[in-house]
């Protein structure tokens, strides 16, 4: 699906974190849909060289292996780029609880380096990944952008700090910024390995391998699971928005429907035709109970219309894992 109607054949795009899960899908979209030049900046800390290999055949693709904690690298990466899409960060709430300083260095220090470099390079827009974790303990559903609660993790603090910096850069320097608060994004290429793997790849690979699958708490916690193509759409629409009023904001990026972790587990089992039983364990610290997004702001200002509902995205994701694990 194509989400833009501008001619981008003479435009250049920097995607930070383009070797990672969401960033690689944004990079792929741009390369397949006529972007003049696409450059990725990534230090391959959680991203994969394998994802970069997918793009090396495109003559207009360039990869800089480098760290956003280095301001000079960020400046080099932004040089002659029209649009900056900032995905690079250390994800995971538990990781941030174990090592808050590392999360802060990359997600806040690296963010300030990137937004400064984008501003200094005269970028036409700076679109960045925020997170639904900024809602913290705010109990009301659905979540609306203006109403946040007490933050529950260093990761949430880092994303809120990014939003505050972006608002100040918009005000002080007239930089066109848009922050996208993703709600549990999932899809092909999400890494099932490592201690901080996300729930859907963990469940799919565990059920397929017949290994232990853990559900934190009673499994009745709910999430607004968002297929990765929806997140790509939001990024493209935000980068290329015609409407200047679209900038200077943060947006919920989700579907606007929530499902419990138990129903997620059962849906995956059904698609795989498995009877594999999960093991329940203690709830995870820093996790919120329920999550559901009001997406009307992104619909109105960005023209965002999620094309994939949860079940459609889940089928595609399970098919992907079936293929790569054959
Ligand atoms: P990911 O780990 O797959 O991608 C992050 C990428 O950033 C990786 O390729 C990694 O190597 C790179 N990176 C990390 N530190 C870096 C550094 N210091 N310098 C350069 N590159 C660095 O994660 P993802 O799920 O694709 O997440 C992308 C963005 O979306 C992140 O900002 C994340 O916080 C945010 N987010 C993701 C979700 C989700 O559900 N996946 C939800 C909310 C927010």
Distance 125 CA to ligand 1 centre (A): 19
Digit-coded pLDDT (tens) for 39-50: 999 999 999 999
201 ligand 1 Cβ < 6 A: no
309 ligand 1 Cβ < 6 A: no
Smallest CA separation from ligand 1 atom 13, residue: 88
Q: Which residues does the annotation mark as catalytic?
A: 155
Nearest atom in ligand 1 to 18's CA: 9
Facing residues of 178 across strands?
127, 249
Distance 129 CA to ligand 1 centre (A): 8
The per-residue pLDDT for 315 is: 98
Digit-coded pLDDT (tens) for 279-324: 999 998 777 889 999 999 999 999 999 999 999 999 999 999 999 9
**Ligand 1 mutation pick, 45, 113, 143, 200, max ligand atoms within 8 A of CB:** 45
Digit-coded pLDDT (tens) for 221-242: 999 999 999 999 999 999 999 9
Nearest atom in ligand 1 to 184's CA: 40
For residues 189-196, average pLDDT:
91
234-238, long-range: CB < 8 A, 24+ apart = 234/180, 234/298, 234/302, 234/304, 235/26, 235/85, 235/127, 235/180, 236/3, 236/4, 236/26, 236/29, 236/30, 237/3, 237/4, 237/302, 237/303, 237/304, 238/125, 238/127, 238/178, 238/180, 238/302
The C-alpha atoms of residue 325 and residue 188 are separated, in whole angstroms, by: 12
Q: Token pair for residue 313?
A: 């995205």
The per-residue pLDDT for 198 is: 93
Q: Which CATH class is domain 12-185+225-256+294-307?
A: alpha beta
The per-residue pLDDT for 183 is: 97
Helices (DSSP H) in the chain: which residue ranges? 21-32, 49-53, 71-78, 93-98, 100-104, 110-120, 154-173, 199-209, 228-239, 261-272, 296-302, 310-324
Instruction: Examine the pLDDT at 100 and tell me if it is beyond 90.
Output: yes
Domain positions in the chain are 12-185+225-256+294-307
Read off the pTM: 0.98
Instruction: Examine the pLDDT at 326 and tell me if it is beyond 80.
Output: no
127 ligand 1 Cβ < 6 A: no
Smallest CA separation from ligand 1 atom 6, residue: 17
**Ligand 1 mutation pick, 16, 19, 21, 99, max ligand atoms within 8 A of CB:** 21
């Amino acid at each position: 699906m194509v989400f833009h109607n501008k001619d981008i054949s003479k435009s250049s795009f920097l995607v930070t974190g383009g070797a990672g899960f969401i960033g690689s899908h944004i990079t792929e979209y741009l390369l397949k849909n006529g972007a003049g030049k696409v450059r990725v900046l990534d230090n391959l800390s959680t991203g994969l060289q394998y994802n970069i290999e997918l793009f090396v055949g495109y003559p207009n693709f360039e990869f800089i292996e480098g760290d956003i904690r280095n301001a000079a690298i960020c400046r080099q990466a932004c040089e002659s780029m029209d649009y900056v899409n900032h995905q690079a960060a250390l994800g995971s709430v538990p990781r941030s609880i174990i090592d808050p300083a590392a999360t802060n260095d990359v997600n806040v220090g690296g963010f300030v380096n990137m937004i400064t470099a984008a501003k200094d390079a005269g970028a036409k827009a700076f679109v960045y990944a925020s997170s639904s974790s900024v809602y913290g303990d705010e109990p009301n559903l659905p979540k609306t952008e203006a109403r946040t609660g007490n933050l529950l993790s260093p990761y949430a603090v880092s994303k809120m700090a990014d939003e505050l910096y972006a608002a100040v850069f918009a005000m002080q320097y007239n930089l066109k910024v848009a922050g996208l608060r993703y709600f549990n994004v999932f899809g092909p290429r999400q890494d099932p390995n490592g201690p901080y793997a996300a729930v859907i790849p963990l469940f799919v690979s565990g059920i397929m391998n017949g290994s232990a699958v853990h559900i934190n708490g009673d499994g009745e916690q709910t999430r607004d699971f968002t297929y990765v193509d929806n997140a790509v759409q939001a990024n493209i629409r935000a980068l290329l928005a015609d409407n200047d009023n679209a900038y200077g904001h943060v947006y919920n990026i989700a579907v606007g429907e929530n499902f419990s972790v138990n129903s997620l587990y059962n849906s995956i089992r059904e698609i795989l035709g498995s009877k594999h039983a999960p093991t329940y364990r203690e709830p995870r610290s820093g996790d919120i109970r329920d999550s559901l997004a009001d997406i009307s702001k992104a619909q109105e200002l960005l023209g965002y219309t999620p094309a994939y509902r949860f079940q459609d995205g889940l089928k595609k994701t399970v098919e992907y894992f079936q293929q790569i694990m054959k």
